[in-house]
Amino acid sequence: MTPLLRLNRVCAGYGQSQVLWDIDLDIPAGGVTAIIGRNGVGKTTLLRAIVGAQPLTGGQMLFDGWDVSGQASHHRARAGVGYVPQGRHVFPHLTVEENLSTGLSAAGGRGDGKIPAYVFEMFPKLDQIRHRKAGVLSGGEQQQLAIGRALTGMPRLLLLDEPTEGIQPNVVQQIEAALQRVRQDLGVTIVIVEQYLDFAWSFADRYAVLQRGRIIREGDTRTERAEDVAGLVSL
Amino acid sequence: MDGVVLALGQGFNGLSVASLYLLAALGLALSFGLMRVINMAHGELLMLGGYIAYLVMKAVPGTAGLLLALPAAFAGSALLGAAIEATLIRRLAARPLDTLLATWGLSLILQQAARNIFGPIGVEVRAPAWMNTAVAVGPLSFATTRILILALSVVLLAGLALLLTRTRIGLLVRAVNQDRMMAAAVGVDVRRVDMVMFALGSGVAGLAGVALGLLGPVTPTVGQSYIVPAFLVVVMGGLGSITGSTVAAIILGVFTAMVQIFVDVSVAQVLMLLLVIAFIQVRPQGVLAPRTRALDA
């Protein structure tokens, strides 16, 4: 079976400094893949490269068999790549509802032009605060909004960059429950960048460890033990 | 009593000048807010609007001519603006100084082209006869043309506000303005949004050109005389803020008109410049806190 996303010797960097080196990675459809590694190893850059916010300096990227390497971000989004970036990046001066409806640009013809009902079912809080400006929301609310906005685009692949970072525990549980639903009920493939190994292991089926811009190990979280990779990830 | 009448009259003139500054500045504010580029050829978009008004109202005299000239000038300047965006601005967007230089060069080329086509001497736009009247209110008299231009800028502002707050494209413009990378990542074609807004701002400049043509002769350098106050309005308004630009235009327009009670036009211009310099020393963020991406950071 062809993977939903295939990275083929992907290189990327900022100016003179190369961050990603020859990344080969297959993301099978339907599963959850955790990208793990220490700070500054290129996890965020890898997601940015998949989204198209970071141009490739080499290699090739296929989304559902389509070469997206040189495609602009919005084409990838419309093809079904959803993105929840680190720091959430909600539009601060737009209301919650307006933020969500920007996501409709990605849904295009796949949706009916309305914010899907499941977004408010997963995050009832967003319904209560739909007329508030996103900039004044708490971190947890912003994170729910960022995920809701990505889901409004009806993605086939959802990229999450440390979605639980700096968020209070009860909201983390809610986000986890929502992501389980995204995976099981909506059948969305998920790639999650995560610092916390325990969470990565409980949520993902597969993992890939990044170190200094290279993938040094990948495998199956169902058959391998977290302790075996802990040494590669811990500080 | 005479003093009060004079002040009221100049106050009206000030608002009228403010509406011209605002029409000239709106396009600059829109494109700067969204793309952080400065289009030095913006004045020539005004000039084009003026010449289009001249041509249309020569061919179709009377009120019908004016009603035709407005959309024609809007469309003409919007098209030229879109072409400038696609050929120069987009390619140089990452290099602000190059954009400045290239659009300045373009402005010189466009001025010379106008000189070759229409000659160096100004052409007169033939306004409908009823516009050369004045409305008398007690001892005060308000030129009909100036009332119309004031009305035009109010209608345009309201239209822009509706466009930005009530339409899909307005929502996307605000999203791009606030976070360009994220807007692209949720599927917004940011380059198309750039182009639409740039063309819209250019079209508004074309309308400003019609207004200028109704007040005086259209010359190849007519845009130049309004571009400096337009830049001042944008700077004082808080780089890219529409509301801020409106407030700044009113402050500067009324200020120049009022000081002209005591000094001549040239000194009034100098005083306006000094006012802006003093103002941005005290409030570098402009009259209103800016809501633009580059200044948020």
At B1 the pLDDT is 67
Among candidates A74, A92, A94 on the partner chain, residue whose Cβ is nearest the Cβ of B187: A74
Contact residues of B toward A, CB < 8 A: 171-172, 174-175, 178-179, 181-191, 291, 296
Please, is A62 exposed, middle or buried when counting C-beta atoms within 10 Å of its C-beta (0-12, 13-18, 19+)? middle
Among candidates B178, B181, B185 on the partner chain, residue whose Cβ is nearest the Cβ of A94: B178
Domain boundaries, chain B: 2-282
pLDDT bucket at A235, cuts 50 / 70 / 90: low
For residues B183 and A94, is the Cβ–Cβ distance under 8 A?
no
B185 neighbourhood in chain A, CB within 8 Å: 51-53, 73-74, 77, 83, 85
pTM of the model: 0.89
Q: How far apart are CA B267 and CA B288, in angstroms?
A: 28
Sequential pLDDT tens for chain B (297 residues): 688 888 898 999 999 999 999 999 998 888 888 888 889 999 999 999 999 999 999 999 999 999 999 999 999 999 999 999 999 999 987 888 899 999 999 999 999 999 999 999 999 998 888 888 899 888 888 999 999 999 999 999 999 999 999 999 999 999 999 999 999 999 999 999 999 999 999 999 999 999 999 999 999 999 988 888 999 999 898 877 788 999 999 999 999 999 999 999 899 999 999 999 999 899 888 887 644 443 333
E-assigned strands of B139-188? 140-143
Indicate yes or no: CB of B183 within 8 angstroms of CB of A77. no
Provide the residue type at A62 as one letter: L
Strand partners, A10: A23
H or E, element range at A61: strand A56-63
| Angle formed at CA B58 by CA B155 and CA B111, multiple of 5 degrees | 75
What does the pLDDT look like over B272-289, one tens digit per residue? 999 999 998 998 888 876
Edge-to-edge strands, sheet with A5-14:
A17-27, A5-14, A56-63, A66-67
Q: How far apart are CA B4 and CA B21, in angstroms?
A: 25
Indicate yes or no: CB of A91 within 8 angstroms of CB of B178. yes
Indicate yes or no: CB of B175 within 8 angstroms of CB of A78. no
CA B142 from centre of chain: 23
H or E, element range at A158: strand A157-161
- Would you report the helix, strand and coil content of chain B in percent, each value rounded to 5? 80, 5, 20
Provide the residue type at B269 as one letter: Q
Indicate yes or no: CB of B181 within 8 angstroms of CB of A107. no
Encoded tokens for B70 = 């407005």
- A:B CB pairs within 8 Å: 71
End-to-end Cα spacing for chain B: 52
CA atoms within 13 A on the CB side of A217: 14
Q: How far apart are CA B26 and CA B202, in angstroms?
A: 9
- Which chain A residue shows the shortest CA-CA distance from B182? A89
B187 neighbourhood in chain A, CB within 8 Å: 74, 77-78, 103-108, 153
Complex-level ipTM: 0.94
End-to-end Cα spacing for chain A: 37
Residues 6+ apart with CB under 8 A from A105: A74, A77, A78, A153, B172, B186, B187, B188, B189
Q: What is the dihedral of CA B15, B21, B26, B28, to 10 degrees?
A: -160
Suggest the residue from A48, A74, A86, A94 to mutate for an interface test with chain B (most B CBs closer than 10 A).
A74
What does the pLDDT look like over A32-43, one tens digit per residue? 999 999 888 999
What does the pLDDT look like over B119-173, one tens digit per residue? 999 999 988 888 888 998 888 889 999 999 999 999 999 999 999 999 999 999 9
For residues A64 and A26, is the Cβ–Cβ distance under 8 A?
no
> Who has greater pLDDT, B200 or A166?
B200
Please, is A218 exposed, middle or buried when counting C-beta atoms within 10 Å of its C-beta (0-12, 13-18, 19+)? middle
Indicate yes or no: CB of A153 within 8 angstroms of CB of B187. yes
- Which chain B residue shows the shortest CA-CA distance from A88? B182
CA distance B123 to chain A (A): 46
Torsions phi, psi of A29, nearest 5?
Answer: -70, 140
Among candidates B178, B188, B189 on the partner chain, residue whose Cβ is nearest the Cβ of A92: B178
Indicate yes or no: CB of B187 within 8 angstroms of CB of A78. yes
